[in-house]
Amino acid sequence: MEPIAIKKDDEIIDLQTAKAKNIDIESSHKIYPENSKEALEVIRHSTAHLMAQAIKELYPDAKFFVGPVVDEGFYYDFRTNEKISEDDLKKIEKKMAEIAKRKLEIERYEISKDEAIEKFKDDDLKQEVLKSIPSDVVSIYRQGEWEDLCRGPHVPNTKFLKHFKLMRVAGAYLGGDENKEMLTRIYGVAFADKKALKDYVTMIEEAKKRDHRKLGGELELFMFSEEVGAGLPLWLPKGARLRSKLEDLLFKAHRKRGYEPVRGPEILKSDLWKRSGHYQNYKENMYFTEICDDESKQSCVEYGIKPMNCVGHIMIYKSKKRSYRELPIKYFEYGVVHRHEKSGVLHGLFRVREFTQDDAHIFCKPEQIKDIVIEVLGFVDEIMRSFNFSYEMEISTKPQKAIGDDAIWEVATKALKEALDENGHRYGIDEGGGAFYGPKIDIKITDAIGRKWQCGTIQVDFNLPERFELEFTDSDNSAKRPVMIHRAILGSFERFIGILIEHYAGEFPFFIAPIQVIFVPIAEPHVAYAKELQSRLLEMGVDSEIYDSKDSLNKRIRNAEKQKVPMVVVIGDKEVEQKSVAIRDRREKMQYNLEEKEFFEKIKEKLSEVRF
């Protein structure tokens, strides 16, 4: 098998570049055309260029901006006078396959930035790309008659590009700037073999059926309204029921583990946000308002609507003197936060402007960090297993935009690694991906159809306690600085519920289902018994509905099953007379009869399925 690139000192280098730099290819780690992370990065990058070449041949007036690799594939942003729709993707794919079969060599060459500016003087989009390149030398990749500015790496020949599919057409602002023109963006995927591509396409088709925006409407869980504003979800009764069940379970789980509930305001003076560093490092994601004490507006004070809950919890910690005997102190809050997200990135419950975090902050001594992180990891494990999620961990290190010196960051990062190592967790490293105030562990879950989602996070913070001069009195009566651990397990209720909807395809486990039981009385004389059972279920915290409309029995049963409820209970003469129920159990895919006592024992058993 021919290699498509090499890896040297953790850098992927294409064969053309390796030869130009006299790097010994034979002694390097070779990357072959397979479905590894490194190989797919190269294959997808080159397939983006293949797509651009096909578009150029089909639409000669097309001009191109950028075409990077993204998590699930690649895209290219471009401009053309012709409107391109989803219907055109097959035509573009066909042209791509034709070009790939030409077995074009992919060549790399370098020119000075000034030469590039002259070379592309008639291409305004290339001029925009060149503005963002700091180097005096730029690289260009050429295949046949098509070429583009690019850092690479790329496969050596188009013959390696066989298994791809274009997924969708979208609009994208030039450089992500809403004030600039809208370009056309085409997304695609590519793999090293036919099976991997087929499996991915099958997964995408399944994902469409599970789309939480679609199911959220069909199951009457939540809605969005342009009159209310983009990114601001409205929770309908059934969705609010589901959410409250999740909140109640987590509240009890927190209290059981020694967390104390607290509540902070949704707006705080901007001076606090300046002190925390959010004003300088996070201002573009925040909303601000002014409160004025007089009509002349001579004494106005700026307030920031909180994007995070940490500052409020810091002020609660500072409300009195603290002793080492109290530590660790664990505060938790279902904190409503607001973040200024651009309209182009809003996506159902996954990306909103208002959301509620299952947030906690733990104040501890430095020597307690490892044990606390291990304890939190155990909490994470219990929750994820209750929802049948597998998950993985990733440590994110100091970003470019950060507060605090390197020594503090090194101590915090080391503590996280030690906790994961001691607990036997495997983990990856995301260099530069930490929060501006500290390194973190990101928890990434895998759903029922194999997709990965970023959810919870555990962050070690030495910096905010320093900025706010937090203290505790140690055993020798000296004043010491505590460490602050930021922790969210779900991440946000909105995002996590969106993931749950897609994970379960709307068929929630009994303990959080918005409607857990639907009673279908066969006739009017059976309604009273259904109401009696419904009343007893409500006392147990179980939500149910009675379908006693004038529709036929079969239609009412079908309508009940469309709601994806765990349990449909049919009641007729026999059930009323014998004090029993006829059950259709959706999750167990069974039908059976139970006496009334057995029915309530079954309900208790189903409620106990949750393990956190």
119: tokens are 């070379």
Count CB atoms within 10 A of the CB of residue 405: 10
Q: Is 361 a catalytic residue?
A: yes
d(CA 390, CA 383): 11
Please pick, among 126, 210, 245, 361, the residue that the annotation labels catalytic.
361
The SS3 of residue 113 is helix
Please pick, among 44, 241, 339, 487, the residue that the annotation labels catalytic.
339
131: tokens are 């503005």
Please pick, among 45, 108, 238, 310, the residue that the annotation labels catalytic.
310
Q: Which of 542, 563, 551 is nearest to 522 (CA)?
A: 551
Please pick, among 126, 243, 338, 486, the residue that the annotation labels catalytic.
486
115: tokens are 């030469």
Q: Are 271 and 234 in contact (CB under 8 A)?
A: no
Count CB atoms within 10 A of the CB of residue 377: 18
Q: Are 210 and 499 in contact (CB under 8 A)?
A: no
Question: Virtual CA dihedral for 224, 225, 229, 233, nearest 10 degrees?
Answer: -20
d(CA 276, CA 466): 10
Q: Which of 420, 495, 493 is nearest to 454 (CA)?
A: 495
453: tokens are 């989602």
Q: Is 359 a catalytic residue?
A: yes
Q: Is 339 a catalytic residue?
A: yes
Q: Is 486 a catalytic residue?
A: yes
Q: Are 428 and 444 in contact (CB under 8 A)?
A: no
Q: Is 425 a catalytic residue?
A: no
Please pick, among 238, 245, 370, 440, the residue that the annotation labels catalytic.
440
Residues 254-264 as b or e (16 or more Cβ within 10 Å = b)? beebebeebeb
The alpha carbon of 603 is separated from its chain's Cα centroid by a whole number of angstroms, namely 33
Please pick, among 357, 459, 516, 563, the residue that the annotation labels catalytic.
357
Please pick, among 77, 148, 358, 359, the residue that the annotation labels catalytic.
359
- The catalytic residue positions are 310, 339, 357, 359, 361, 440, 486
